[in-house]
Structure formats: C-alpha cells, structure tokens
A and B are shown apart, each in its own frame.
Chain A
Amino acid sequence: MPRLLLLDAKWEGEVKLTKKLKDYLKKTKPNSIDLFASVQFSDIDDFLKELKKLKIKVNTTKAKRTNKPLQILGCDCYPDSFKDNLNSEMILYLGDGMFHPKALILAVDKPITIFDPISDQIKVVDRKDIQRELNKKKANLKKYLIANKIGILVTIKPGQQYFLAAKKLKESLEKENKKAYIFIDDTLNPMNYENYPFIDCWVNTACPRIGTDDIININQPMINLRDALDPGRAFVELEK
C-alpha cells in the first residue's frame, strides 16, 4: 500500500470579520453563533477575537467525522452528526461553495448563514433551497418500504466501504421476504444503475451525500444505508 500525505490546501488569504459581515451581525444581532468552516478557512484566531468584541458567544462543536471542532465535512449531514446540539441563535459557515453548508441544512431545519471570505459575500440558505431533494428523499423512503427487489450499493473505497453492513442489511431484508442484491463498484456512477431495471429501490452504503444530492438525477429511487436501517427515524429527521 502506498503511504498517504494529506495537505489541507488552506486559503492563502486571511479570514477577516469584514465591515460587511460586522454590519450584518450588528443588524441581525445574534447573541450566540454556532460556527463552522471547511478546513481551507479554519485558521480564524483573529476572526474569533473580533467576534468577541461584538459580545457574541461563539460555539464550536465537533462534527462526528472530523478531528477538530469548527470543521465540517459534507458527510456530517444528520441531526446526530454533532457532539453538541446546534442551539445558538445563528449558524454561521465560513467558506466557499454549497457542499458543506448543504450538510448543515440537511442536518438541521434552521437557516444557515454563509460568509464567503474570498468574495466577502453573505448568503442565508435553508431547507427551501433543497426542497426538491427533500421531497424526493421522502418519496424514495416510501418506495423503499414497498420495494420487493432492493439493490445494495457498496464501494470498494476503504473510507466509504460498508460491505459488512450491506451484508447485514441483505439478511434483514430477506427475513422480511424481500429480495436483496449487493452490487460492488469503485466509484458509484448513476449511469450504471439503469442497467438493472429489476431493482425497485437502491440502498447506498457509500458517501451519504450520494443518497441526497444525486437522487434528483436518477430515475430509480435510492436511499442511504442509515435511512434503510431505520426508515421511521429518517421520516422524523426530515421534519427536524
């Protein structure tokens, strides 16, 4: 096996509490903030000092799959993905793009304020912005419950490989008199699913964002492993 070197690729700039963000916080007046950032924007000592001056309490909880507080990964996208509950008056994400903030929207039904340090832009997003995915997720859960032939997708990528869980799920589905087949691949490519039209519903055991972001682009229903193990919880979480 080759050795591995992971490099953060930090942003070359400095994350600052800009005038625009300061004015926004003065206007919206949050007393407390749950703060998150992608690893590229996680050197924020000066930013935190400036927030303190505004007398805002900053909470930096640890997401389950990360190794340090503040950072968030795209797969931290469930209500129980965080060490602490996100109870602050504002959830603020520092970074560019929508991939990480979307994990927060999926996890909690609260507005997420995004501050992009590169463009100095502020944007507020919430579940309305991903309503299509959420509607499809709910519909897919219903289809899973009535599916007779279920395809369980397993990737061989070690960081996302859940072969044992897939085998356990197959066993439990067979106890319910359903047919379950395990499909193995490297990268899970939606183009391949349609070659198996006998599958009523797919269960994705790899990255949970496949079962949220990709579902609007495929015809066959698909849900994530976590939701397949407890569909009741999945329905409840969609309302959280």
Chain B
Amino acid sequence: MKIIMYKLELEKLISTIKNQKAKQVLIQLPDGMKHKADQVADAIEEKTSAKAFIWLGSCYGACDLPLGMDILNIDLVIQWGHNKFNKEIW
C-alpha cells in the first residue's frame, strides 16, 4: 500500500532557488517531515548550484523562523507546512 504523504513541492523550491540565484539555503521542516530533510537537501544540491543546510530545531509555524541566518550568509529560508499569518497587535 502506498503511504500518502505531504507534498514537498520540490519543483517550486528548485525554481525559486534558481530564480532568486540563492547560494546558501536553509531547510526548515516540521517534525512530521524532518525525515525528508536529506531528500530535500540532496535535490537542492543536485539540481541547483546552491548549498543546502538543515535547521535542527523547532518549526511550530511561520511565527517560528530561525534567527541569525544573516550571520551565516544564508540567503533563503524555506519553511514547510505553514503559510503567511497575521500577527496580533497588543
């Protein structure tokens, strides 16, 4: 039986990396998709000239983005499983 999973959208990812001429990209996956990180990193490095890096930690939402990536010269962060949200104003 084929296990139906969540879409990685690799084509969109690869074309975005190429269009943006990104050189160093960070992959941020929610826990249920972290086991696919190698597949994503391999696809990026095989199909583009960018280097791929994997965020080890949490991925609770679009509100939970890795910080300090500019220090490492990461020029594109790709997060799966979430979309744009509205931050509440207090």
Chain B contacts of A159 at CB under 8 A?
A: 61-65, 85, 87
Q: Mark B1-20, 1 if CB is under 8 A from A, else 0.
A: 00011111100110010001
Is A1 on the interface with B (CB-CB < 8 A)?
A: yes
For B27-55 the 0/1 string (1 means CB < 8 A from A) is: 00010010000000000000000000000
B83 and A39 within 8 A (CB): yes
Contact residue among B5, B33, B57, B87 (Cβ-Cβ distance under 8 Å from A187): B57
Known: A159-B62, A159-B65, A162-B90. A8 touches B20 (CB 8 A): no
The chain B residue with its CB closest to the CB of A40 is B6
A70 at the interface (CB under 8 A from B): no
> What interface size band does chain B fall in?
35 or more
Closest to B81 in A: A9
Q: Are A158 and B86 in contact (CB under 8 A)?
A: no
Q: Which residue of B lies closest to A205 (CB)?
A: B90
Given known contacts A3-B75, A67-B84, A160 and B64 CB-to-CB distance under 8 angstroms: yes
A interface residues, Cβ below 8 angstroms from B: 1-13, 39-40, 64-67, 71, 73-75, 118, 156-160, 162, 164-165, 186-187, 205, 207, 225-226, 229
Residue ranges of B at the interface with A (Cβ–Cβ < 8 Å): 4-9, 12-13, 16, 20, 22, 26, 30, 33, 57-58, 60-65, 67, 69-70, 74-88, 90
In the complex, 19 of the A-B residue pairs with CB atoms within 8 angstroms, ordered by the A residue number, are A2-B70, A2-B74, A2-B76, A3-B20, A3-B76, A5-B16, A7-B9, A8-B81, A9-B8, A9-B30, A10-B7, A12-B7, A39-B82, A64-B88, A65-B88, A67-B84, A73-B61, A158-B67, A207-B64
**Top 5 closest pairs, chain A to chain B, by CB:** A159-B63, A165-B90, A13-B4, A9-B6, A9-B80
